[in-house]
Amino acid sequence: MKRLLLPLVLVACARTPPSPAPSLPTTVAPVPLPVEASAVALPTPATHTILPTAEVAQDASIYDLPAELVDQNAKAIDLAVWRGQPTVVALFFASCPQACPLLIGNIQYIEKGLTAAERAQLRVLLVSFEPVDDTPEVLRRVAKKYGLDTTRWRLARTDADTVRDIAAVLGVAYRKLDDGSFNHSSVITLVDAEGHIIARQDGIARSNEPVGPAIAKLLQHK
Amino acid sequence: MPHLLRSVLGLSVLLLTLSTALPSPAALAEDSPPQPGMRHVGPGLYKPFYPANPKQTTVPLRGFWLDARPVTNAEFLAFVKAQPTWQRGHIARLFADPGYLRHWAGPLALGKTALPAQPVTWVSWFAARAYCRARGARLPMTDEWEFAAAASEHAVDGRDDPGWRERILAWYGKPARGSLPAVGSTPENFWGIRDLHGVIWEWVADFQSTLVAADDREAGDKDRLRFCGSGSLSARDTTDYASFMRIAFRSSLRGHYTTSTLGFRCARNDPGVPE
């Protein structure tokens, strides 16, 4: 079994950069911390910028997950709506100020690197973290704003429970905040015609690697 | 708050009909568990170890029901008998790694290494969720689990009691060797819940929420975005190592992972509150 390893990058933004903090549990400095809100780095990652490597099984299909969605045209679809075509899947939400525009822009950047024939074969599914506010109308507006080709792109929402499932199969961390927005990791996932995860990449950094070349390779073998 | 109202009404009825002393809160709520073996927890003001918003040091937590002990091998066996898609050998690879229920003698047999009363382990988050769903319940949220687990035998929040904390930490420091005890082997806490510490780790519904840091809409460039996403967090008490360890552990999980010491228990909302 070949495992794809991908560092996930968290999209979250603290007002102050994290202070260099000790790892746990044995090396925590026994310094009395007078205030409750002391910034401390999480114990697991080896570096400050990257989450632990996520393991993805190639012999698993994300289409094994029963997940009912509603698309931007208020049509009931499921996660496997693009079965049969190579598909890029990502989680986002409409009111996301920075990370999601970058994510969508990055998928468009990947598309630009493809030939017209390759692009015509690629499908995109964007699923919202936000079960209530991201109505089909809001999703249509997002599609319009970014000039998305809705013959190949679907934007969809689902219930909170199903968001949890989809995030789990894509290895996405997220947390709903008091103000209704989300902190979340940003990742672009490429699945093949049958929903097997082929490649994943950071959603934020402008790059087409490794998803772009993987799309081309998938289509060569088709 | 309907539950509070019910409790008050229940209390009045008790006072009218009984001449005994006031029952403890736990005993009061126990009169009608939605499922056998559940105990009522909360409502309460929860002081998260790791608040979503650093300024919000307390979160009002609705009352809920929680299994008094983890789900056992015997219970999980009954579940997979009823739902073959969750049997070892049948389960989709997406939902569990190859370790799934590996300590059972067979897909439908426990055997010597999986005693009926031991907590079920080698279960994935997907399988744990499916089990609770089949029971008409759900996995507890992190906040709920931690709120319940913050209780010592006598107090809603034992985390400021160094002795209690050390007892818990001692377990985390003990290497997991040998076989797991039967469920219910540890003392009841304030809410009547057992085994939250000292036996196994447990799945929570939102295990994926753990690695996310505080937000800032005015965050600047991409590097900043990345950098501050490193997982800085505002911990309530940086000497509470056991809480740190649970955060670290949960953040290392994926939904299909299984391990020899990771099990679960189910939760439910109060009647009338949608799950």
The domain that holds A65 is classified in CATH as 3.40.30.10
Q: What pLDDT, on a 0 to 100 scale, did the predictor assign at position B70? A: 98
Q: What pLDDT, on a 0 to 100 scale, did the predictor assign at position B5? A: 45
Under the banding of pLDDT at 50, 70 and 90, the label for residue A22 is very low
Residues B85-130: tens digit of each pLDDT: 999 999 999 999 999 999 999 999 999 999 999 999 999 999 999 9
| Residues A185 and A175: beta-carbon distance below 8 Å | no
Tallying the residues shown for chain A, one arrives at 222
Asked if the Cβ–Cβ distance from A38 to B57 is below 8 Å, we say no
List the single residue in B with minimal CA-CA distance to A195: B94
| Residue with more model confidence, B237 or A110 | A110
Give the C-alpha separation, A180 to A95, whole Å: 10
Under the banding of pLDDT at 50, 70 and 90, the label for residue B51 is confident
Q: For chain B, what is the mean pLDDT?
A: 81
Residue A52 clears pLDDT 80, i.e. is over it: no
Interface probe for B, chosen from A44, A175, A181 (most Cβ of B below 10 Å), is: A175
Burial class (CB in 10 A: 0-12, 13-18, 19+), B117: middle
Q: What is the ipTM of this complex?
A: 0.77
Interface of B with A in 73-112 (CB under 8 A): 92-95, 97
Angle between helices A99-112 and A211-220 (to 10 degrees): 40
List the single residue in A with minimal CA-CA distance to B236: A36
Residue B6 clears pLDDT 50, i.e. is over it: no
Asked if the Cβ–Cβ distance from B215 to A13 is below 8 Å, we say yes
Residues B7-31: tens digit of each pLDDT: 444 444 433 333 334 444 444 444 5
Residue A50 clears pLDDT 70, i.e. is over it: no
A117 Cα to chain B: minimum distance (Å) = 31
Which residue among A41, A57, A61 sits closest to B231, beta carbon to beta carbon? Answer: A41
Under the banding of pLDDT at 50, 70 and 90, the label for residue B236 is low
Least confident of A42-46, B115-119, B159-163: A42-46
B256 Cα to chain A: minimum distance (Å) = 8
Least confident of A52-66, B13-27, B127-141, B226-240: B13-27
Question: Which chain A positions have a beta carbon within 8 Å of B206's beta carbon?
Answer: 164, 175
| Residues A94 and A155: beta-carbon distance below 8 Å | no
Q: What is the mean pLDDT of residues A1-26?
A: 35
Residues B204-219: tens digit of each pLDDT: 999 987 654 333 332 3
DSSP B35-62: STTEEEE--EEE--SS-SSTT---EEE-
DSSP bridge pairs for A10: A185
Q: What pLDDT, on a 0 to 100 scale, did the predictor assign at position B31? A: 59
Question: Which chain A positions have a beta carbon within 8 Å of B56's beta carbon?
Answer: 178
Q: What is the mean pLDDT of residues B41-59?
A: 81
Residue B273 clears pLDDT 90, i.e. is over it: no
Asked if the Cβ–Cβ distance from A14 to B53 is below 8 Å, we say no
Half-sphere exposure of B70 (CA within 13 A, CB side): 31
Give the C-alpha separation, B77 to B122, whole Å: 13
Q: What pLDDT, on a 0 to 100 scale, did the predictor assign at position B96? A: 95
Q: What pLDDT, on a 0 to 100 scale, did the predictor assign at position A33? A: 27
Interface of B with A in 228-267 (CB under 8 A): 228-239, 241, 244-245, 247-248, 251-252, 254-256
Give the C-alpha separation, B76 to B128, whole Å: 9
Question: Which chain B positions have a beta carbon within 8 Å of A25's beta carbon?
Answer: 241, 244-245
B245 Cα to chain A: minimum distance (Å) = 7
- Could you tell me what percent of chain B has a pLDDT over 90? 54
Q: What is the mean pLDDT of residues B51-64?
A: 82
| Number of separate domains in chain A | 1
Strands B64-67 and B38-41: antiparallel
Which residue among A12, A47, A178 sits closest to B53, beta carbon to beta carbon? Answer: A178
Asked if the Cβ–Cβ distance from A64 to B236 is below 8 Å, we say no
B101 Cα to chain A: minimum distance (Å) = 18
For residue A120, what are the domain limits? 3-220
Half-sphere exposure of A126 (CA within 13 A, CB side): 30
Residues A116-153: tens digit of each pLDDT: 999 999 999 999 999 999 999 999 999 999 999 999 99
Give the C-alpha separation, B262 to A75, whole Å: 39
Asked if the Cβ–Cβ distance from B248 to A48 is below 8 Å, we say no
- Written as six digits, the tokens of A181 are 């927005």
Interface of A with B in 40-69 (CB under 8 A): 40-45, 47-49, 51-52, 54-55, 57, 59-62, 64-65
Asked if the Cβ–Cβ distance from A9 to B229 is below 8 Å, we say yes
Question: Which chain B positions have a beta carbon within 8 Å of A59's beta carbon?
Answer: 93
**In chain B, which segments carry CATH 3.90.1580?**
33-269
Q: How many CB atoms lie within 10 A of CB A149?
A: 12
Q: What is the mean pLDDT of residues B190-199?
A: 95
Q: What pLDDT, on a 0 to 100 scale, did the predictor assign at position B165? A: 85
Q: Which CATH class is domain B33-269?
A: alpha beta
Which residue among A10, A42, A54 sits closest to B254, beta carbon to beta carbon? Answer: A54
Residues A169-222: tens digit of each pLDDT: 998 888 887 788 888 888 999 999 999 999 999 888 889 999 999 999 999 976
Asked if the Cβ–Cβ distance from B232 to A18 is below 8 Å, we say yes
- Could you tell me what percent of chain B has a pLDDT over 70? 76
Give the C-alpha separation, A150 to A115, whole Å: 19
Q: What pLDDT, on a 0 to 100 scale, did the predictor assign at position A56? A: 52
Asked if the Cβ–Cβ distance from A169 to B219 is below 8 Å, we say no
